[in-house]
Amino acid sequence: MKILCLFVRHGTAQYPEALTELDQWYQRHSLINERTLWIIDNALEPNCLPQLVAPATHLRPGSNHAWEFSAWDRTLAEAAAEGISYDIVHFVTSAFNTLYNEYLKHFRRDMLDYTLARNTCLGHLDSFPELMQLEDETFQTWVRTCFFFLTRTSIQKLPRLATYQDPDRFFVAPDSREFRPDAPLGLAYQRHIRAWLEGQEIGGHSWHSPVRQGKEENVRFQRKTLAILNEQRLAITLRRAGIRLADFCWLFSLRNAPFSAEMAPPTEVDQLRARRRILGIPA
43 with 27, same domain?
Answer: yes
153 with 187, same domain?
Answer: no
pLDDT digits (tens, 9 = 90+) for 166-208: 999 999 999 999 999 999 999 999 999 999 999 998 877 788 7
Average pLDDT across the chain, whole number: 94
- Collect all residues with Cβ–Cβ distance below 8 Å to 26 and sequence separation of at least 6: 5, 32, 35
pTM of the model: 0.95
How far, in Å, CA of 132 to CA of 155, rounded? 26
Strand 121-134 versus strand 51-54 pairing type:
unpaired
**Structural domain includes residue 215:** yes
By CB neighbour count within 10 A (0-12 exposed, 13-18 middle, 19+ buried), where does 245 fall?
buried
CATH code of the domain containing 41: 3.90.550
29 with 144, same domain?
Answer: yes
**Structural domain includes residue 135:** no
171 with 201, same domain?
Answer: yes
pLDDT digits (tens, 9 = 90+) for 79-128: 999 999 999 999 999 999 988 899 999 999 999 999 999 999 999 999 99
211 with 119, same domain?
Answer: no
How far, in Å, CA of 158 to CA of 172, rounded? 30
102 with 172, same domain?
Answer: no
Domain count, the chain: 2
Domain encompassing residue 181: 167-230
How far, in Å, CA of 131 to CA of 139, rounded? 5
188 with 80, same domain?
Answer: no
90 with 155, same domain?
Answer: yes
80 with 110, same domain?
Answer: yes
**Structural domain includes residue 134:** no
Confidence of residue 146 (pLDDT cuts 50, 70, 90): very high
28 with 97, same domain?
Answer: yes
